[in-house]
Amino acid sequence: MQGEIFVRFSPQELDDLDWAARKATMRSAHIPNPTRRDLSKTQAEADWIGLASEWSVASMFGLSIRNCGTYLKGMEMDGGRDLALPCGRSVQVKGIQLRTNTNHPMWFALENTTPRLGADFGVLVLIRKDRESARIVGYTTRLHFIARGRVLDLGTGARFGIRADRMLPMNEWPPLKWRRKYA
């Protein structure tokens, strides 16, 4: 997809992600997670993918892993706002990790059928299977999400989502333009 951004994790960042994901998993272990849909992954794997995805977006702004909602509050406790950017906008990050090389379409999908994005922007991140890098696929706004999204079932129950190829290219993401303009 055009306009994607690639992020490679350093060994120190991988260690930080492992530590933070373990901490998030321990924090959320006593909280039932009815919205977790992918039962092929353990909670620890889901936490790592979510945190790595959030960090990938945060790193574009020089933010630390400690700015990520998962790190601060534990999984599923951030109300859909995973990051607060320096420009004052919020971001909901969805991370996915494909188990095999497949041509199945990727989706930025919510946990329910309500077309309400909980943040100013939604960003889709694909974590490589080897966990060494991430590909930030695209973004959506609240209005774009409602206009281009639809209810779907990926085998895990009905959800509202937008296909990755219908998302907007990352090189046109307004917060990145603002960062470049005011840096």
What's the pLDDT tens digit per position in 24-72? 777 666 555 555 555 667 777 888 888 888 888 888 877 766 555 555 5
Distance in angstroms (rounded) separating the CA atoms of residues 152 and 168? 20
Q: What is the pLDDT of residue 75?
A: 42
Which band of pLDDT confidence, cut at 50, 70 and 90, is reported for residue 171?
A: confident
Query: What residues contact 98, with CB distance under 8 A and at least 6 apart?
Result: 104, 106, 126, 129
One-letter identity of residue 88: G
Tell me how far CA of residue 79 lies from CA of 73, 97, 105, 152, 154, in angstroms: 10, 22, 26, 22, 23
- For the whole prediction, is pTM greater than 0.85? no
The token duo for 96 is 């996915």
Percentage of the residues of the chain whose pLDDT score is greater than 70: 76
